[in-house]
Amino acid sequence: MNSSAIEATRRGPRSETLIILGFVALLLFTIFYVISQRQQVLRSSPSGFDGLRIWLNTNEVSAQSFLGGWQVDQETVGLLVLPLFDTVLDEDRVHPHTKEELLLQQDEYDLRLDAVLEKASRVQTLVILPKWRSGMRLTGRAHPVLISRQEQIETLLQQLTGQRGARIEYARTPFTDFDYFDGEDVRQSAQIYAAQLFTGADCSPLIGNSDAMLLAECPLEDGTGGGRVLVLSDPDLLNNHGLRLGDNAIVARSLLSALADERNVMIDYSREVWLSDPEETVRYERSWADLKRFFRPPFLTLWLSGVLVLALFIWRSWQRFGPVQVEDGVNTGAKSLAVRARARLMRLSDQDGALAGEYAKARLAASASALFGPALAHHYAEPKVFLGYVARHNPDLSRDLETVLRDIRNLPHRIPPAEAMHHVDELEALLEQITNDT
């Protein structure tokens, strides 16, 4: 292996490797960015709930959007707001191929029924049924033709509550007002466009009546028969589109703050269950006996072997190299002082030719050290070796350098200082060019 290959190996990984790693990192960043942007577009769209989070925080109600990725202590969650953007749970949605299919698609992303039921069984949950197709999000227009299929939403409602007789109904008027009385018994009027309502035998209405419920507390199909869940049939009461209608914003603040009971309102967009129960967490008790186990056989033999090897290593290094010698400034500069004294004697004795020759040798050594490093400087400091290296890279400079070195070597001991400086300048110019070119 030649010296150039050795230098390339020392410099680190090849440029092709760095390019591939950079491309992979860029690809991963692009994937995560696209996924986050899709979520952001949905949350900030007319059918999203970013406006609800901002409105609640503005009115001193703690609220946050949650996308998943870390465990959340369920004791800190006062109310889990769970919007469903999937009308057929546990089935993969069909991706649209045309613009019309995109406008009429009913599902924004896939959700699992078991995850929804487990979340609702762990904390107090407000499940928001889907209503609008993707066209409402994309166009910003709410029109009855963009409402999702009634039978699919009914099936979803029945899966959540376990009531086979639960039904979805639609208001007969374009805008429907619903009375809501807050904790101080102040009447507010919630207004919904193309209201989507439901009926259920075992549901207790909170907004609406038993024949047309907008918000109700219903049984939860969790297998135990004792769970309850809040069901909001029309998302327009709380989403970005509906908060601007009637007293919906005031109703949302009063209703959610009362349900959360001064705890956190979490708007959950995640697909998995990230809630954790601190009482179910396994807690390990540690003692000094756990640490002492690592100093019992067979670990004791391992520790003693390690100490013996370390002692042998330190002893051997001490015998071979000895302790670190702290040298003062006078000793370290002795060689430099000797060189300066010799040069001064040559100048005082008018031996400028000999001084130029010594200077040429020193400059060759310095140039070799700069080009090849201290380890190879001694080898390349020889004039013949250095000239051979220059000849392989630049024959013209090699011939000029050989001429200058020969002239300096043939100088008589006593020459005028101006003549000596002329040769030194020629040497400096060539060495500077060689160093920069190679």
pLDDT tens digit sequence for 361-419: 888 888 888 787 776 777 777 888 888 888 888 888 888 888 888 888 888 877 787 78
Q: What is the mean pLDDT of the chain?
A: 83
Residue 345 has pLDDT above 60, yes or no: no
Q: Which has the closest alpha carbon to 75: 252, 238, 266, 221?
A: 266
Q: pLDDT band at residue 338, thresholds of 50, 70 and 90?
A: low
What is the rounded CA–CA span in Å between residue 379 and residue 365? 9
Q: pLDDT band at residue 5, thresholds of 50, 70 and 90?
A: very low
Report the pLDDT value the prediction gives residue 133, as an integer from 0 to 100. 92
Q: Where are the beta strands (DSSP E) in 164-283?
A: 167-170, 175-181, 187-193, 196-199, 204-209, 212-219, 228-232, 264-268, 275-276
Residue 11 has pLDDT above 60, yes or no: no
Q: Which has the closest alpha carbon to 48: 117, 171, 131?
A: 131
Residue 368, C-beta contacts closer than 8 angstroms, at least 6 positions apart: 376, 377, 379, 380, 381, 386
Tokens of 342: 């010799």
Burial class (CB in 10 A: 0-12, 13-18, 19+), 273: buried
Decide: 117 and 138 in contact? Cβ < 8 Å.
no
Q: pLDDT band at residue 438, thresholds of 50, 70 and 90?
A: low
Q: Give just the sign of the alpha carbon dihedral 35, 38, 41, 46.
A: negative
How far from 361 is each of 146, 355, 381, 391, 394, CA to CA, in Å? 90, 10, 8, 18, 21
Torsion on CA atoms 260, 266, 271, 272, rounded to nearest 10: -70
Burial class (CB in 10 A: 0-12, 13-18, 19+), 358: middle
What is the rounded CA–CA span in Å between residue 231 and residue 234? 9
What is the rounded CA–CA span in Å between residue 217 and residue 203? 5
Q: pLDDT band at residue 294, thresholds of 50, 70 and 90?
A: confident
Report the pLDDT value the prediction gives residue 34, as an integer from 0 to 100. 58
Residue 216 has pLDDT above 60, yes or no: yes
Amino acid identity of residue 286, one-letter, is R
Q: What is the DSSP letter of 293?
A: G
Best-predicted range by mean pLDDT (120-129, 275-284, 412-421): 120-129
